[in-house]
Amino acid sequence: MLDVKQASKLATEYFASLYENKYHNLNLEEVEISEDGKYWYITLGYDIDRPFSVALPFTKTGREFKRFKIDIETGKVLSMQIRKID
């Protein structure tokens, strides 16, 4: 059975393997266990550079979030979704 630290580490490693160096400041933001106790939901936040203006080459940093669904028994990452935070 996977504990929350292991699930968080799996989500972080999974994210890093997909995005390599295209992000900055990756942090654990949220953890949640499903009501039936079968899945961990892990939310990671990270900074990315976005164009500030089409006419100007400057960039600004934006914060984005990904939510991972991880099977508690197997440790398999079942999904990665965009997490909107208002």
Residue 32, SS3 per DSSP: strand
Residue 1 contacts residue 72 (beta carbons within 8 Å): yes
Mean confidence (pLDDT) of the chain: 90
pLDDT-based confidence at residue 21 (cuts at 50, 70, 90) = confident
List the structure tokens of 23: 């992000």
Distance CA 71, CA 56 (A): 45
Q: Is the Cα torsion angle 71, 74, 79, 84 positive or negative in sign?
A: positive
Q: What is the pTM of this model?
A: 0.85
pLDDT at 25: 92
For residue range 42-59, list pLDDT tens digits in order: 999 999 876 665 655 656
**Alpha-helix runs per DSSP H in 1-86:** 4-19
- Exposure of 56 in the CB half-sphere (CA atoms within 13 A): 6
pLDDT-based confidence at residue 86 (cuts at 50, 70, 90) = confident
Lowest mean pLDDT among 22-26, 39-43, 76-80: 22-26
